[in-house]
Chains A and B, each alone.
Chain A
């Protein structure tokens, strides 16, 4: 007999096996498991889960359809609110959103909403179910800059409303962070990301790759010369940060962005790929966010012994609990309360160690987290031949510096209101990491959605 207080467990690849391959870690529910999990949902009238979802998916609605075995309808409900359900089911922090608010979660475990979303979206993909496009065209053109989660969502929503949408992507492949940042083992590119992007194209969206806005052309030119009536900027996070400590320019020190882009976008994890990647014997990944976990688990799969070096304690790790759990299971070593002060290199300039100090937690700082303080005289060296810096990013000035009247805040992020994504320039909207600084896929999608609504209102009022 099934325990209604517990989630139907989801099948995963064994840690020892998956540590040596790039296949997806989580195998997801099959139909029987999904229906059993869906049956746990009590279909609350005043559903809290929906309030926890940045794109307000009708969660009880789609779960009800799964319970009844009506998978196509479940997908239709999802696709009304989200352009990327197969992605969200995998990478959203459900524990602090929908599942965090689930009434079932008060006494027992919440409904496994993410895994159910993933199931319905994958089922639709396997059965060639496509989202439905607009019935009528509005005859107005919108340019979307960046094909990451914010851009794809905004473009998808606008296309469904009947606008002619063109996405401009700087890289050679659409998907933004979904293709260059998040690894294959967490988000399969061919079966999940490409399929979702094909669905967005199915809605009538055109994607032009190899266009760097701010260089190849500008927002002003798009509006004045190419006839776009409105623009959405979803250009993403930007330039990787480094610590500014001695030795950071040594050979074998990489930003997580570079390391992950080589592996994910350029497929360097495959030894037949044209793009090389360094295979370290022992690697230190500095930082504790989701990107750090992705870089660490990638290095592990490429055969390295991997240490996460983080200056605060486990409690403060910004990464999702599930990612930390998976990393530990696979054998990543966590050197917590440890802060690098110098990277050591041999006479040819190659990394051969990272000098660190021990930290202890003092009083809470402005972020509310206890401030790490150096323990005097605690210097020590970890022998590593490679270091990956995963310290976040600072905004890319390419667009803001080339667009007349587009203002940025003191952190150089584009200023846009939360409600509709309106910037300081008429007809130009923005959302996602370009506005907030590095955040999550789903928050970017929420911003893309809000901006689509803002653009629709703006163009209808024109």
Chain B
């Protein structure tokens, strides 16, 4: 069992939890992920690591309540436990292995979208701790949905917040901010790391390709075991099939087949929708999901 030491709602439907997981905390790096399971009946949920404290033996995760299982997870409180918390899985960010002096010369841009702000944070923090100031663009739909702003501000070089509805910071999509920074504000970048919804990463890559900025993305496809065993997470990168869990989760964004990856994310949409319906309706659920037979 892995005890939750802290649990809070960052904004509507996005939750942060600090979990005691000594082995993971000892060996994880920014860019890696964990798989959690709430209880014996639970599904295995992959989540990118948001922060870690090696001394305290804790790992921080951030997730959005999207399906039945993550909504169920949202009800966990400090003092409760995860049945399983395994990791770290996947490869660390490539930045970690780079020569520190070379890294200090690099102009690095992070682009975070929505809940993707969480996995960007440990990378920016790690760079900050190693004397590298990276620029960060954080995009959110509205001011209310923005997360980890203060935390990010403390570790970023420049932080640019943009909201789709213009309710806070700049107005518009993150791609607009990238374009403005480079074309109007005289910024140059050697590398861009974009993490967020698949559709956002696709359009960020289109933009950075135009601007000739090499771009790394972090993919979060469907997974079961997270150790290479099942192959559910396969993605096509530069015409080659890769397993996101062992070869990734970070890949060269200009080579990822996003359209295919987005289609593959739909595989269990119907099943997930049914499960959510059942959870929301509880005992009052008597059919309509096409699965339980209650309406037959």
Contacts and interface: CB of A to CB of B under 8 A. Distances in A.
Interface in A135-172: 170-172
Contact of A239 (B27, B69, B88, B243): B243
Contacts of A170: 86, 225, 227
Interface stretch (B41-49, B129-137, B165-173): B41-49
B228 A396 contact: yes
Interface centre among B83, B228, B241, by most chain A C-beta atoms within 10 angstroms, is B228
A215 B228 contact: no
B234 A249 contact: yes
Nearest to A394: B228
Contacts of A266: 43-44, 224
A367 interface: no
Interface string A235-248: 00011101010001
Contacts of B80: none
Interface residues of A, number: 39
Nearest to B233: A258
Contact of A255 (B26, B85, B89, B231): B231
Contacts of B26: 217
A240 B243 CA distance: 10
B87 to A, nearest CB: 7
Contacts of B241: 242, 244, 248-249
A396 B246 CA distance: 9
A398 interface: yes
Contacts of A217: 23, 26-27
Chain B binding site: helix, strand, loop or mixed by DSSP?
Answer: mixed
B231 A258 contact: yes
Contacts of B224: 258, 261-262, 266, 275
A458 to B, nearest CB: 27
A7 to B, nearest CB: 37
Interface string A176-190: 000010000000000
A251 to B, nearest CB: 5
B263 A239 contact: no
Interface string A215-233: 1110000000000000000
A352 interface: no
Interface stretch (B96-104, B208-216, B268-276): B268-276
Given A172-B86, A210-B84, A239-B243, A216 B23 contact: yes
B291 A271 contact: yes
Nearest to B245: A239
A258 B230 contact: yes
Interface residues of B, number: 42
A362 interface: no
A278 B37 contact: no
Contacts of B43: 266, 274-275
A212 interface: yes
Contacts of B27: 215-217
B272 A276 contact: yes
A257 interface: yes
Contacts of A262: 224
A134 interface: no
A61 interface: no
A398 B275 contact: no
A396 B231 CA distance: 12
B277 interface: no
B229 to A, nearest CB: 6
Contacts of A255: 230-232
B271 A276 contact: yes
Contact of B260 (A210, A242, A349): A349
A238 B87 contact: no
B3 interface: no
Interface string A191-230: 0000000000000000001111001110000000000000
B264 A251 contact: yes
A273 interface: yes
Contacts of A254: 231-232
A348 interface: yes
Given A216-B27, A239-B243, A274 B87 contact: no
A274 B86 contact: no
A125 B87 CA distance: 35
A249 B69 contact: no
A209 B84 contact: yes
A276 B275 contact: yes
Interface string A260-278: 0110001000010111111
Given A172-B86, A217-B23, A251 B229 contact: no
A252 B24 CA distance: 33
Contacts of B164: none
B145 interface: no
Interface string B273-296: 001000000000000000110000
Given A216-B23, A216-B24, A262-B224, A274 B275 contact: yes
Nearest to B232: A258
B267 interface: yes
Given A275-B43, A348-B263, A396 B86 contact: no
Given A172-B44, A251-B267, A261-B225, A210 B231 contact: no
B68 to A, nearest CB: 7
B269 to A, nearest CB: 9
A216 B37 contact: no
Contacts of B24: 216
B55 to A, nearest CB: 16
A257 B275 CA distance: 24
A209 B21 CA distance: 13
B41 A273 contact: yes
A179 to B, nearest CB: 12
Contacts of B64: none
B142 interface: no
Instruction: Give the top 4 A-B pairs by smallest Cβ distance, nearest first.
Output: A276-B271, A349-B263, A258-B230, A210-B86
Interface of B: 23-24, 26-27, 37, 41-44, 68-69, 83-89, 224-225, 227-232, 234, 236, 241, 243, 246, 260, 263-264, 266-268, 271-272, 275, 291-292
5 contacts: A172-B84, A215-B227, A216-B27, A258-B230, A266-B44
